[in-house]
Amino acid sequence: MIETTRYAISVSDPTLYVAFELGLKTWKLAMTPAIGTKPWVRTVPGSDVRGVRELLTRATARFGLPGSARVVSCYEAGRDGFWIHRALTAMGVENRVIDSASIEVSRRARRSKTDRLDALKLVAMLLRVCGGERGVWHEVRVPSVAEEAARQVSRERTQLVQDATRIINQMRSVLATVGTHLPQPRPGAWWTTVCDWSGVALPAAVQQRLAHAHARLALLEQQIAELDALQRARVATAAPAVGLGRLVALKGIAATSASVLIDEGLVWRAFHNRRELGGLLGFRPVPHQSGDSARDVGIDRAGNKRWRSVMIQLAWGWLHWQPSSALAQWYTRRFATGGARARRVGIVALARKLLIALWRCATTGIVPDGAIVKVG
C-alpha cells in the first residue's frame, strides 16, 4: 500500500533523523538533529544491525541529544524487503519505508548521483515530512511477517509459469530452425518422432537439446501442480466469511486469481477508499494540461504489476462468466461496439471498477451488482 501520511514533530522534541542508503555491501547513513545542522554521514557494512545500533548511539552523543531522544529513520523500499524496518522498530526507531518512485529527482539531463548524495537528500526530505509538509513522498504500508510470507506461493507460481513459457518458446525456436513445429500433444519421447522439413528424423544434437528442455519443463509443470494443489487446499479450508472465501464464491473467480489478490494485500493493506486502491493498481489516468491544451496521456502504471496482469485477465473473464452483471452491461454499453481500440481502453476501465467491486466483496461481503454466486 502506498500512501501519503503527515508526521508533524515539534521542533522542541530532541530527535535524531536518520536516512539509510542501502547497498549490497555497505549502508550509508546520514544523520542530523534538525534543519540547518550539517548531517553526519557514516558507512556500516550491509546488514550489520549491531553496527547501526552503535552508530546511532554515537550520533546521539555527537549532537548532544539525551539518551531518550527519539530516532526517526527512513529508507527506500527495494531488494531487502521489510526485515530492516522490523529490526529498526525492534530497537525503538520510528522508521518509514519509502516508495522510491515517488522521490523527487532533478530534471537535468545529467545529474550527480552517489550513495552519499542520495542519503543527504533523503534525510533532508525526512526533515520536511516530519515538519508537516505534505506530498514530499509516498510511504509503503509494511505487512506483517505472516502476510509477507503468504505472498511467496502465488509469486513462485507466477515465476514458474513464466519459466515454463520460456522453455516452450525455446523448443519452438529450435524446431523452427529445421522447418517444423512443436507438436500437440507431446507424449513420451516425442522428439524422436518429429521430422524436419524434408521428412527426415531430427539430428541427434537437436533431439538431445529438446530432451533436456522437455525434462526441465516436466519439472516445472510438476512444481506448478504442487502449488495449484496447495492453493486449492487453502481455498477449500477458507471460511466463507473471509476475503478468499468470498472471492472464490463468485463465478469466474478461480483459486489462482483470488490467491494473488488476497496475498498481494487486497485485505491486509486496509485501503481507506477506492482512490488508494486504483493508485496501487496503476490504472489511474494521467492528465496533461498546459495553457489551452488539455489531454490524458494514458495510465500511470505505477502500481502492482501482478495485480494489473491478473485484473486484465479477470476483466475479460468477467464479461464471459458474468454477462448479466452491472459491470459487464456497463462495458457493453460503452465499449463493446466501438472497435478494437475502444475495447482495449474499456477493459482497463472495467478492470479498475472490477477490482474496487472485489475489494468491497472481500472486505464487507457486498456482492457486485448482478453477479452470479456459485452454488455449493
Q: What is the pTM of this model?
A: 0.81
State residue 294's pLDDT score.
Answer: 74
For residue 358, the model assigns a pLDDT of 95
For 125, the grid coordinates are 526530505
Which residues, given as ranges, of the chain have pLDDT below 70?
A: 1-12, 109, 297, 376
Strand order across the beta sheet in which 70-76 lies: 2-3, 139-140, 94-98, 70-76, 15-22, 26-32, 40-45
Rounded CA-CA distance 360/274 in Å is: 9
